[in-house]
Amino acid sequence: MVQLATARPRPAGAHERRVREEALRRHREELRAREEARSGELAYLRAQLDVASRLNGRLAAARDPREMAALVVEELHESFAFYLAAVQQLHDGGTLHLVAARGRLAAVMEEFLLVEQPVHSGVNGRVARTGLTELVADTRLDPDYVVRDPGTDPRSELSVPIFVDGLVWGVLNIEGAEPDAFTEADAVLVEAIAASLGSALHRARLIEELEGAFSTTLALLTSTVEAKDDYTADHGEDVAEMAELVALRMGLGAGEARDVRLAALLHDIGKVAVPSEILLKPGPLTDEEWVTMRGHAAAGGDLVARIAAFAHLAPAVRASHERWDGGGYPDGLAGEEIPLAARIIAACDSYDAIVTDRPYRPARSPLEAIEELDRVRGTQLDPAVVAVLIEELRQPSRL
């Protein structure tokens, strides 16, 4: 067997060593640069996820389309400082109408981007027509881009359709000052945000339709009482309007204030169970008649509790005739045992009753009514609610 000789390693010369060391140094620099870029990309992705998460929460609490659009462009601007972030809504006439905008160009928005842009022109118009995302690396090369001022026009554009119930509602548009400012990752983020905005808009539309159905149901319910007592019909509307204003002034959210309004509209619904001869009696009621009359609060609460859409309002309807000192009905609740909505309704109900003609006495003036409210605060009525109600009543528009 022939044994092969093993070659001994040759010591590297000074030149070769320098070449190897330089190659190793460059390799290490490339690795560092790659790791830094990867770290930057991860940070950017985390920021994108944070923005999407925050917006989902903020949009869930919004109801008005303009408020929603403003939240979106504000979040995009604050997080990424885009040259421009804008939301346009597609109208039936075939035009895109500016809803909200933020960025360095927003101050001159009316000059830069038409408030009413025809849907047949511009990149946004193309997106609205096709329903497809457009990522424009260089606006100077896009035939549809509408040039306004070559010196200050954006050089990059990302436009995404906003869908509501399967139809294009509008366009979410972001723009950059330099070419190639946006990547596919940016497109994914903006598409996700546009989807969240579309879902929020759809949800708000459904809520509006549902509230319309609620109003129809309320009209049917209250009409049965109106047929017996004309006073109750107008009284309920007046009390409801005032109760919602007081609720808002006390710091309740818009949704809670709407519930107070609905409960106020329903607070006398139990009178449907009160005989007309008692309800419309021109003189004082007997003790037995008062027992029957006071039964309307419990009857109203029970009636409302049986309607799924209004069941959450039943406690406020039932307690709307309780007193702060515990002397009310039907359960003798006192102080903060009484739901806040019911305390607000009770105060507004008392005021409206004082300033309205009744079968057994004439109306008194608003100033006299305020004096009476001040007299019974802390006994019949919640003093904090009375204070806010008096503030509302003393507004110049009411004097």
Q: Cβ atoms within 10 A of the Cβ of 282, count?
A: 8
Predicted pLDDT of residue 373? 95
Pairwise pLDDT comparison (239 vs 29), residue with the higher score: 239
Say yes or no to pLDDT of 33 above 60: yes
C-alpha to C-alpha distances, 266 to 219, 241, 297, 366, nearest whole angstrom = 10, 13, 10, 24
Predicted pLDDT of residue 162? 96
Q: What percent of the chain has pLDDT over 70?
A: 79
Predicted pLDDT of residue 64? 87
Pairwise pLDDT comparison (348 vs 76), residue with the higher score: 348
Predicted pLDDT of residue 359? 64
Task: Determine if residue 264 is left, alpha or beta; phi over 0 gives left, psi from -120 to 50 gives alpha, anything else beta.
Answer: alpha
CATH superfamily of 30-204: GAF domain (3.30.450.40)
Among 34-38, 183-187, 251-255, 385-389, which range has the highest average pLDDT? 385-389
Measured distance CA(172)–CA(181) in Å, rounded: 16
Q: Give start-end residues of each CATH 3.30.450.40 domain in the chain.
A: 30-204
Say yes or no to pLDDT of 3 above 50: no
Measured distance CA(116)–CA(90) in Å, rounded: 10
Predicted pLDDT of residue 260? 96
Say yes or no to pLDDT of 233 above 60: no
Q: What is the mean pLDDT of residues 87-100?
A: 90
Least confident of 222-236, 287-301, 344-358: 222-236
Q: What is the mean pLDDT of residues 272-288?
A: 81
Q: Categorize the per-residue pLDDT at 36 as very low, low, confident or very high, splitting at 50, 70 and 90.
A: low
Fold of 227-398: Hypothetical protein af1432 (1.10.3210)
* pLDDT tens-digit map of 95-139: 999 999 888 766 555 555 557 888 998 999 999 999 999 999 999
- Tell me the whole-structure pTM to 2 decimals: 0.54
Phi/psi of residue 319, each to 5°?
-95, 10
Predicted pLDDT of residue 123? 94
Say yes or no to pLDDT of 61 above 80: no
Average pLDDT, the chain: 83
Q: Give start-end residues of each CATH 1.10.3210.10 domain in the chain.
A: 227-398
Say yes or no to pLDDT of 214 above 50: yes
Residues sharing a CB contact under 8 Å with residue 313, sequence separation 6 or more, in sequence order: 259, 262, 263, 266, 304, 341
Say yes or no to pLDDT of 235 above 70: no
Q: What is the mean pLDDT of residues 239-259?
A: 93
Which strands sit side by side in the sheet containing 134-136, from one edge to the other? 116-118, 95-102, 84-90, 167-176, 156-164, 134-136
Which residue reads 């008062």 in tokens?
A: 290
Counting Cα atoms < 13 Å in the Cβ hemisphere of 86 gives 28
Pairwise pLDDT comparison (107 vs 285), residue with the higher score: 285
Query: What is the identity of the amino acid at 85?
Result: A
Predicted pLDDT of residue 2? 42
User: Are 261 and 317 spatial neighbours (Cβ–Cβ below 8 Å)?
Assistant: no
Q: Categorize the per-residue pLDDT at 336 as very low, low, confident or very high, splitting at 50, 70 and 90.
A: very high
User: Are 256 and 350 spatial neighbours (Cβ–Cβ below 8 Å)?
Assistant: no
Least confident of 50-64, 125-139, 179-193, 287-301: 50-64
Predicted pLDDT of residue 27? 58
Predicted pLDDT of residue 5? 43
- Chain centre distance of CA 283: 49
Q: What is the mean pLDDT of residues 302-309?
A: 84
Closest by CA to 73, choosing from 109, 114, 30, is: 109
Predicted pLDDT of residue 51? 74
Closest by CA to 263, choosing from 231, 209, 301, is: 301
Pairwise pLDDT comparison (26 vs 256), residue with the higher score: 256
